[in-house]
Structure 1
């Protein structure tokens, strides 16, 4: 049996056995912390961002996030715990963020010849007058536009502010990069028509960005992490409530999280937290409309970013028996591409083979057999302990 874990890469987990050696990642979440004005809220709802706009902020535990990154395997896009492989899924995005999933991928042209003109058309003004080559909008400018909404405002101005609010959410909370002070302009044209904006799979784009940032953060020299960290932390707390014990929360607690995950994940990991009555009763039906593709096996896309979503590797998160999975898909040179220097490149055409696979998601759903319990089969357990990385400490 071929091992899943590559030995030719320097992974942050290589230092896990040294209790005095740990890294605490930094991240930047610039949430607005103000509710959207009721006058432009209908536009957020029309575009598919109504639910996520209700998220104000979250106190991030970077010691917990750093310990999670130690368990992330770039080979499989899953966490390797003693209980088996698990990951942040499309279900988590739908239930926790309320973003659309079963839609067209978030892609297209990421750079334009006259960005100021695009801003004037869709935001009512340009943050960089006289500069035709800027690629991002600073959060401070967007916040000023949102907070500066006057008592008497036209419908067109409300639409511009709604776009500014969505752009702030995209860049500051949903898909932030490690720069942390601006959002790329490539998303703005997708918001031109709010009724069309909701036809994009914003949820899978958020997940693709998080996967890319988790991959990048496994490198030992990396100090910062982007992506939707609110989603990542919430995912962990729903499934590993024993990580919330009093006293944890300082940066020096990475080794404590390390140890608790090692000791408790095998029996204490909650595979299906949203199925518990207290939670299921408050999940809106709108969050479940795309449940038919949550376990698909396809690439997920956000312009230049393409990551593989292996729903077939984490079937226990959907209440099913987990067979020994196929070898994970590798993207080769298409993994790690950036927008830099690619003026007027249409990523939808460049990544057309991955777009086609995403659009074929219904035919890429694995065979699903409902399980009577969450215990792995003896065959899977033997395979995973031989080929995966169930433990960090002592390994």
Structure 2
């Protein structure tokens, strides 16, 4: 159970959200249509393990649905506080929805003074060797940025800049009644392809107050388990998620039902300061969070 301080802060989060929920969802997947790759470029992108993004195309973002969900977000635990308990996107969800790697080295480093010089030094004018990119945990980076974006909106930021596509598809996977009939996909395809063209809805601000436990699909990816290259156990430990200058706490023990386990009363979140490096720094999160990263 969360401590009194955590409960108070969670209530404060919701009050802040009610004061200002007219934020912008800062995502447009229309630009992905312009991403035309020839055979040579496809081969290069495949080296990065990010090739699944190539075919996502346009996703219809339901802003009302996302605003309703964000109204339930608690930045203390990085979970949504629903009437049926806590839920949140996990690394295992991200792997199935986007099919980008969630394990590997953290995406972090020292902020360069000159980005163009930095790119030229490490990638060159026309990068031909991107093998190094596949060793990074791009999925963990995506989830860290999503968590931070959700918390910033709770704190009255005017832009939600996390992956709206990821969050929306996660909602549809776990609460399919909020979507319409999904598109049929093959077993190898990212789950995001199922939900690309869902209709937008209105007046959803109380939707998540009405969710019953029978409406929730706790483990939507079970039919894929035999062929999966990522086990749930590999994503079932507390850790930090790193996104360059962002560090977010990852607490799967608070949503054990999403892993097919019985949920006990969760222990309180660790006391830590939500930090972000701004400006130029001589050190990176690798230096500051070396112990957490190694674990």
Residue 299 of structure 1 aligns to a residue whose secondary structure is strand
**Residue among 239, 248, 258 paired with 2:205:** 258
2:283 aligned to which of 331, 334, 345: 345
User: How far is 1:304 from its partner?
Assistant: 1.7
Question: What secondary structure sits across from 1:308 in the alignment?
Answer: strand
Aligned counterpart, 2:98: 97
After TM superposition, which residue ranges in structure 1, 4 or more long, deviate above 6 angstroms?
245-248
Query: Quick check: 2:61–2:200 contact (8 Å CA) kept in 1?
Result: no
Aligned in 2, Cα 1:37/1:27: closer, same or farther, shift over 3 Å? farther
Q: Look up the match of 1:227.
A: 162
Contact persistence 1:64–1:257 (CA under 8 A): yes
Shift of 1:53: 2.7
SS of structure 2 residue aligned to 1:63: helix
Unpaired runs of 5+ in structure 2?
182-197
Q: Is the 2:64–2:204 Cα contact (8 Å) retained in structure 1?
A: yes
Q: Cα–Cα, structure 1 residues 304 and 14, in superposed 2: closer, same or farther, change >3 Å? A: closer
Per-residue deviation, residues 273-307 of structure 1 (Å, max 9, x unmatched)? 122x4xx3xx894x533543122211111122111
State the distance in 1 between where 2:20 and 2:281 align. 40
CA contact (8 A) 1:109 1:346 kept: yes
User: What's 1:45 paired with?
Assistant: 46
* 1:216 pairs with one of 146, 152, 171: 152
**Per-residue deviation, residues 205-260 of structure 1 (Å, max 9, x unmatched):** 110000000111112x322101111000100111122223699735xx3xx32333
Please tell me whether the aligned partners of residues 205 and 300 of structure 1 are also in contact (alpha carbons under 8 angstroms): yes
Q: Tell me which of 178, 185, 200 is aligned to 1:249.
A: 200
Matches of 2:104 and 2:9, distance apart in 1: 37
Partner of 1:119: 119
TM-score by length of 1: 0.63
Encode CA deviations 1:29-48: one digit per residue, 9 max, x unaligned: 24321343322112211111
Which of 328, 349, 352 aligns to 2:269? It is: 328
Mapped partners of 1:289, 1:226: distance in 2: 27
For residues 201 and 100 of structure 1, what CA distance do their matches in structure 2 show? 6
1:150-189 counterparts in 2 under 5 A? 157=126, 159=127
Q: d(CA) in 2 for partners of 1:288 and 1:115?
A: 35
Deviation (angstroms), 1:111? 1.6
Aligned residues: 274
1:25 maps onto 2:27 in alignment: no
**Equivalent in the alignment of 1:200:** 136
Q: Supply the distance in 2 between the matched residues of 1:30 and 1:105 (Cα, whole angstroms).
A: 26
Is the 8 Å Cα contact of residues 108 and 244 (structure 2) preserved in structure 1? yes
Distance 1:290 1:202, change over 3 A: farther
CA contact (8 A) 1:13 1:71 kept: no
CA-CA distance at 1:202 after TM superposition: 0.8
Structure 2 counterpart of 1:297, from 238, 255, 261: 238
TM-aligned CA deviation for residue 124 of structure 1: 5.0
- Measured in 2, the distance between the counterparts of 1:284 and 1:116 equals 44
Residues 1:6 and 1:46: Cα distance change in structure 2 (over 3 Å): same
Cα 1:5–1:52 change in 2 (3 A) is: same
8 Å contact from structure 1 (residues 25, 62) kept in 2: no
Equivalent residue, structure 2, for 1:309: 250
Q: Is the 8 A contact 2:17 2:71 kept in 1?
A: no
Asked if structure 1 preserves the Cα contact closer than 8 Å seen for 2:73 and 2:150, the reply is yes
Q: What is the SS of the residue equivalent to 2:204?
A: helix
TM-superposed deviation, 1:99: 1.2
